Amino acid sequence: MSRNNSNISQSFIIEGASCASCVGKIEKALNGVSGVEQVEMNFAQRTVSVDGNVKSQTLIKAVEDIGYGAKPMNSESEQDALDEKAEADTAHYKVLMRNMYMALGLGVPLMLYGLFIGDMSVNTPEQRIVWSIIGLVTLAVMIGSGKHFYTGAWQSFKNHSANMDTLIALGTGTAWAYSMLVLIAPDMLPEVARHVYFEASAMIIGLINLGLAFEVKARGRTSEAIKRLIGLQAKTARVVKDGQEQDIDVELVQLGNHVRVRPGEKIPVDGKVIDGKSSIDESMLTGEPMPVSKDIDDKVVAGSINKTGSLLFEATHVGKDTTLSHIINMVKRAQNSKPSIGRLADVISGYFVPIVMILAVIAGLAWLNFGPQPSIAYAIAAVTTVLIIACPCALGLATPMSVMVGIGKAAEAGILIRNGEALQTASKITTMILDKTGTITQGQPEVTDVVMFNQQNQQQIMPLIASLENGSEHPLAEAIVAYAKEQSYQIEQVSDFDAITGKGVTAMLNGERLLFGNQALMTQFDIDVAPAVDKAQTLASDAKTPMYFAKGNTFCALVAVADPIKSDSIDAIKRLQDKGIHLVMLTGDNEATAKAVAKRVGIDDYIAQVMPQDKVNEVIKRQENGEVVGMTGDGINDAPALAQADVGFAIGTGTDVAIESADVTLMRGSLHGLADALAVSQATITNIKQNLVGAFVYNIAGIPIAAGVLFPFFGILLNPIVAGAAMAMSSLTVVSNANRLRFFKPQDH
């Protein structure tokens, strides 16, 4: 990519985009540039890609003209670009925190002085000099720490709209301008109104910057899922040409190339096996821990891991056409299309600002025409007081404070919530989709049943089975070996070990042949297992995998291995159902196992043998039906669906990719954490609504008084000091109410 020359595709990091409505403004501005063909902004990553024959500086200027910042992503590689984005987020957070410290460093001492130490009125020449110096310092702080607010307000004004920036600019600007009027021409104002409000300007800017910093911090890890997925890709591939093996960059692999993979290596591209046998760990696709046997003509996919034998395959999909690349793109698209939660404060501001402006003008005109002399002084005081008491300090804190406390409270319960939008949306979920393996179940196979036949003894037979399976890397084998070690069985070294694809394993021990596998293996060696068939079917219908063991020609035992259901899954699922949430289980496992597990945990709606795209499609289908969909999973295969869902919940014991794709991470690995997360979400939403009411109580009550409606009857004109105090009390109310969340406890379980 070139920064200064025209290019087909360019990417930029966007600064200052704080809400979803910013996306439309930025895309509209860029689409309006001559030569631009297509614009797509990813709000989650705060990046925008532009296709067209346009200089980067022209595009940057278009973004800056509407009040935002743009920085070209100079990196050639996607990984480097993401790192660059993370650095930009960190830098933006530091700027906001610096602005906060600068503003509150001035505002807090001034407010404390006014409340507890001295008078902020201007009555003497000495006071005028001191406060004039403070006024200039305040102006410098307003410009240095609040420039982005004033820029945003100006852009909203040009677009004939109003937002939070408009309120902030009006409140802080009016407070400062009025204070300077007091200093420059105190005789124009009644003595009761000769009061400065520099602390109000500084406090508003400082507190709002703090709220924005909280948001940037919470959103700072949205690109980690993409980073993790990119990390799954192999860097090189071993291509075979003319009988010679050569390691080349994976980007250079072409369709039809023959590629060799050895045990323990990643599959670099998608392909079809042309030589060799092996077992492949495809858990990244299926979510199932069992390796899949691969033989000639079987498909292999990029990112999966070759476990045992050496394979030679023909490349069928390379580059951006591989299955892994498609998963990466699905996560990107899902993040980009994630439904946004409109800021209620901004919606309110859109109505509140014009109303306040109208009321201020009406109040001013009323005092000019009907007020006592000097009428202009009373008019200026009334207008200014109305605008000060309508200042949005508490409004800007209402949501961020509750979100911050709510997220912190959830963290105490082992629930990590990525951002405030997820916290808000979780309270509206109507359908929750649950992955099976690792979410409802433990995700680790273990021995569940050992049934002996032909008068055999378990203490004698299980060591033989463990010795035989000790040479295998299959998860089922690992479960059996682990079971034997728990029972302190002695494991011996076998000879002539042979893995028969799709059937099981054989070996020799002490001159006897040992066989362990499915019924097909027993049939191949003419072993009579008729007495165990019914039992094996019963075990299979109970979501267990039955395996037969024979010594010589004698059938000895039936061993069942299963992925057990977590001890608290049934209770947790009932908690969710009691909340009125419809539950759906999705799994890459077979129909019989899926049915058995769903029945046991009390879920009626389930779908088996699904791939990652199927999970995404299921989420989309239910969203199109008007449902608010949550998705809970733990595997790489769940990542696209987690990102597509309105709220994605990842089991913390699962893969990093799933965790980073999700909006919420349940660190305990229990579905009770899911129910707790929804409870915290609902409590937080209630708290936010209370805060918004509290933020307006003082404003709504104070505005009529500030306008002077009580003056004709009682001679009461709201002192601007009271207006400033109301603003402070409004903020205190919001902060105190938000902190009540710290005492919230999810339902005991």
Place of tokens 């991470």: 665
Please list the alpha-helical segments (H only) found in 487-582.
519-524, 530-541, 569-578
Sheet holding 47-52, edge to edge: 36-42, 47-52, 9-15, 69-72
Tally of CA atoms within 13 A in the half-sphere of 267 that contains its CB: 36
Number of H helices, E strands in the chain: 25, 26
279, 285, 355: which is closest to 322 by C-alpha?
Answer: 285
Dist. CA 315–CA 298, nearest whole Å:
12
- Region at 708 (left for phi over 0; alpha for psi -120 to 50; beta for the rest): left
Tokens of 279: 């077992």
CB atoms within 10 A of CB 136: 12
β-pair type (605-607, 582-586): parallel
260 three-class SS: strand
Residue 547 DSSP one-character state: E
Catalytic entry in 89, 270, 281, 435: 435
- For the chain, give percent helix, strand, coil, nearest 5: 55, 20, 25
Residue pair 654/454 in contact (Cβ under 8 Å)? The answer is: no
Residue 233 DSSP one-character state: S
242 as an active site residue: the answer is: no
β-pair type (236-241, 258-261): antiparallel
Q: Angle of helix 375-389 relative to helix 344-370, nearest 10 degrees?
A: 170
Residue pair 444/289 in contact (Cβ under 8 Å)? The answer is: yes
Catalytically active residues are: 435
